[in-house]
Amino acid sequence: MKIKFIFLIWVSLLIFKTPASSAETESTASFAGQWPYHPSKAIAIDSLRNIIFLGDGDTVDIIDMDLNLITNFIATESSQIGGLYYSATDNLLYIACRSDGLKIYDITDPESPSLVNSYTPDSLETVNVFIDGSKAYLSSGIDGMIILDITDIQNPSMLSQSWLPGGFGISYAIDIFASGNYAFIADLYNGLHIVDVSNPNEPDYKKGIALPGATDIDISDTYLYITLQSSGMAILDIAAPEDTFVTSVFAAEGVATSVRVEGAFAFISYNSVGIRALNITNKTEPFHDSTWIYDATGGTSLGLIQGESFLFCANDQFGLQKIDITDKSNMQPLASYDTPADAIAIDISGSYIYSIDNNIDDLPEKEGLRIHQISTSNGSASFSYKGFCATPGTANDIAVLGAFSYVADGLQGLQILSTSDKTNPEIIGNFNTSGNSCGVFIAGNYAYVADGDQGIAIIDVTDKTAPILKATLDTDGIAQKIFVSGDYAYVASDDQGLNIINIVDKAAPFVTGIIDTPGTASGICAKDNYAYVADGEKGISIIDIADKTTPILTGTLDTDGFAANISVSTNYVYVADGINGLCTIDASNPSQPISINEWSYNSLGISTDVFSGFSNDEEELYTFLADGSAGIIAVNLSIDNDVDSDDSSEGSSNGGCFIHTIK
C-alpha cells in the first residue's frame, strides 16, 4: 500500500511598520522551522495483518486497526520523515527521511521492528519513496528523481539520478509513483513529470504537464489523481503514458494535501476543511455533493484499504483518525490516536532544546523529555533528534541547568535527569511532592517547585540522586509557575494572582506580598523591579515589585489568545498566547505596554511556553514556542537596529528569560 506525505512549502513573512514607540527598529517575524516538520504525518498500511504505520516527525508508530499502539521507534535524526512505503511481500517498511536518506526496517515482528539498512544519497534530499519490484524510486526535491537497485537489500545501489525541467530552472519533486515502464512525479512548482524508466540506468524524460502546486499522487486503473494545492485535484488519463492528458480538474476552496481512490469515489484531504468525497464515475465531470464533507479536523495524509468502509486521516494537530465513509453525507470518526510529537514546555541550553509533552493518553512511557540539537542559519532553524526519556508522571514543566534537567512531573513530583549524554538522558533522582507539580525553577543548589494547590516546595538538589525537601509553603490559589530572582520567588497562582516569597532562609520561606491580577496567572518572569505575569484570558500584567510587601499593578495588555507563559529579553515581553501563538510586546514603558505585530506570529497549534532571546553567530534572533500538538515552532525575528541583546539576569527555566547564543 502506498503512503502519502504532503510537504507544504510554508514561509510566513509579515512586513509592517514598527510602532512609534520602537521607531528605530525594523523587524519582522517569520516561520523558521518546526519539530516535527508539519505537515509530516505519513501513512502506510499492511492490509494483510491489519497494521498501520504512521510517520510523525522523527518517529514511526505501529498501530492496529482500532488505533491501539503496538510500538514505536525513532527512525531518523533529522526529525523529518517525508514518506513511507510498506512492502507486504517481504515485510519491509521503507522510510524516506528527508535529510537522513532512506531507512529500511524489517517488520516481520511488529512489536520488534529492526533496522535492515540505510542509504543516504550524497547531499540529496529524500522526500518520498515508492517501491516497484527490485527498484526504489525516490522523489528528491530540487534534485529530482533517484532510482535505486534494491535487489540486494543489504547493498542498495544508485542506478540513476535525474533532474527535472522547470520554470526558471526550478523544480521540486515531492511525490512519486512508478507503474510499469513509467514513473510519474509530482513537482510542487511545475506539475506532473512523466519519465520512461524501462532502462533505469538512463531514464528518458517524456512529458511534463503544467499543474502548479502538484503534491500527491494516486493511481487507479488507467487514471492518475493528483492534488493541486490551490485547485483541488486533477484527473489524468494515463492509458498511453506518453500521451497523458488532463480529463478534468476539481476546484474547491482550501489547500488540497492528499488523495486516495476507492471504487467510484476519490477522497481528498485539505489542510483546514478536512475531507471531501468526490464521485469519479465520470472522469470528465467528477461530482461533489456539498454534504460530502468531513470537517471535524483538517488532514495532511490519507490511507485506505480497498473494499473497506473506512479510511485513515492524519493531520498535524490531532494525530490519526479512523473515519467511517459508508455514508458520504455523514462521515463519522470511529477512533483516534494521538501521536507523541506534542510540546507543552521547553527550555534551551547551549545549542540544545529540551521539550516535554504530557498528551499521550494514559501511556506515561510515551511522554516525557525529548532533546534536539538546534541548527540555525539564514533565517531558518532545524532540529536534530538526540534522545528521549519517559517520566513516570504527567510532565508539565522543564528547567535545564548544566548537565541536568529538572521536570515538574505532576503527581510524581520532581524528576532529576542527567542529560550530559544527550543521546541517553536518564532519571537519576526524584522527590515526590505532596501536590501536583506544575512548574519548576532552578537556582544554585535548589529546585523551586510550583506544586499546585499545595503551594511551593523548596528542594535541595546538591545530591542529584538524593534530593532533600527543605520546606513547603502554602500559597493563595493554585501555584502554576515559579520564578526566582535573588532572595525572592515569584509564584503565578492562578485566580489568586502573584505571590512574592522571601527565600533567604530556604527552610523557612514566607510570603511578603500578594496582588490579585485581572486574569488567571499562568506564567511568570521577573526582571529588575518588575514582575511580568502571563495572565490567561486577560493577556499580561506588569507589576512593580520594588517594594516586595506592596506590589503595584503598573500596566496590562489584553492579548488575543490565552496568555499561558511569558519570557522577557531586554525591553521585550514574549507571550505564549494559546491559539494566538506568539505575541510580542514592547514594555519599555511598563505602564503602557504596546503589542508589536511585526514580532508576533500566529502558529498552528496552541502555544503554552516560549523561549526568547536565542541568537547565533550570524546575529540572528529567534524565539521558540512549545506549540502543543504542532510541536516546537521556531520563529525568526529579523532585525535591523542597535537594540542591546544582552540580558544580565541569572538563572533558567520557565520559557527562558535569558539570552543563549550558539558558539
pLDDT digits (tens, 9 = 90+) for 39-82: 457 899 999 999 999 988 788 999 999 999 899 898 987 768 88
- Over residues 522-549, mean pLDDT: 97
Higher confidence at residue 588 or residue 645?
A: 588
The DSSP output letter for 329 is T
pLDDT score for 9: 30
Residue 6 above 70 pLDDT?
Answer: no
Query: What is the dihedral sign for C-alpha 601, 607, 608, 611?
Result: negative
pLDDT score for 27: 53
**HSE value, Cβ hemisphere, 13 Å, CA-based, for 568:** 27
Angle at 116 between CA 112 and CA 117, to 5 degrees: 145
CA pair distance 389, 421, nearest whole angstrom: 12
**HSE value, Cβ hemisphere, 13 Å, CA-based, for 236:** 29
- Residue 533's nearest CA partner among 571, 572, 493, 503 is 493
- The SS3 assignment for 132 reads strand
Report the top-level CATH class of 215-340. mainly beta
pLDDT digits (tens, 9 = 90+) for 537-576: 999 999 999 999 999 999 999 999 999 999 998 899 999 9
pLDDT score for 629: 76
Residue 435 above 60 pLDDT?
Answer: yes
In percent, how much of the chain has pLDDT > 70? 89
Fold match between domain 215-340 and domain 345-661? yes
Q: Where are the domains of the chain?
A: 215-340, 345-661
Q: Which residues touch 491 (CB under 8 Å, ≥6 apart)?
A: 450, 455, 456, 475, 479, 480, 481, 482, 498, 499, 500, 501, 524
CA pair distance 144, 159, nearest whole angstrom: 14
| 485: β partners | 488
pLDDT digits (tens, 9 = 90+) for 595-632: 999 899 998 789 999 999 888 888 889 999 999 877 89
Chosen CATH of 345-661 out of 2.130.10.10, 2.40.37.10, 3.40.50.1980, 3.30.420.480: 2.130.10.10
Read out DSSP for 347-377? Answer: EEETTEEEEE---STT-GGG-EEEEEEEEEE
- Residue 310's nearest CA partner among 556, 600, 50, 609 is 50
pLDDT digits (tens, 9 = 90+) for 149-195: 999 999 999 999 999 998 777 899 999 999 999 999 999 999 999 99
- Over residues 420-433, mean pLDDT: 97
Model pTM? Answer: 0.72
pLDDT score for 228: 94
Name the amino acid, one letter, at 534.
A
What cell was used for 403? 548537565
